[in-house]
């Protein structure tokens, strides 16, 4: 499922050096496994302070890619961390992970547009 708003993405990055755009994408892809693992651990240990921080960080990097769905779930996890609310964390995490996996696929498809 496509999660990136491709029009907004292309409008924003059209004037960037193409190698910078590829680097931004690659950094997200490389850091993603550690980021998602940290969120999973935060939820498992009910470390709401770390959850707040890690979800906020994830939300921020996702916002670079105009991907509303995964950004929404990261924001919801962040708010749960702020409130210390453990209800529904696993479901939110699974939604974030599923949409983030779609984001990873979208980013791989976007890369060739910046290598031409």
Does residue 40 carry a pLDDT above 70? Answer: yes
**Could you tell me which residues come within 8 angstroms of residue 25 by beta carbon, excluding any fewer than 6 positions away?**
107, 110, 111, 114
Evaluate whether residue 39 is within a structural domain: no
This prediction's pTM: 0.94
Does residue 44 carry a pLDDT above 90? Answer: yes
Evaluate whether residue 96 is within a structural domain: yes
Which residues are paired to 4 by β-bridges?
67
Q: What is the structure's pLDDT at 116?
A: 66
If one counts every other C-beta atom within 10 angstroms of the C-beta of residue 24, the result is 17
Kindly report, residue by residue over 47-95, the tens digit of the pLDDT: 999 999 999 999 999 999 999 999 999 999 999 999 999 999 999 999 9
Averaged over 34-54, what is the pLDDT? 98
The total of structural domains in the chain comes to 1
| Structural domain span for residue 114 | 1-10+48-116
């Amino acid at each position: 499922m496509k999660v990136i708003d491709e029009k907004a993405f292309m409008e924003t990055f059209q004037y960037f050096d193409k190698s910078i755009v590829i680097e931004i994408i690659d950094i997200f892809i490389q850091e993603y496994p550690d980021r998602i693992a940290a969120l999973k651990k935060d939820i498992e240990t009910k470390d709401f302070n770390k959850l707040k921080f890690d979800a906020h960080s994830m939300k921020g990097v996702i916002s670079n890619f105009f991907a509303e769905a995964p950004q929404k779930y990261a924001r919801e996890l962040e708010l749960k961390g702020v409130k210390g609310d453990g209800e529904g964390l696993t479901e939110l995490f699974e939604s974030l992970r599923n949409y983030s996996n779609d984001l990873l696929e979208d980013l791989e498809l976007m890369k060739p547009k910046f290598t031409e």
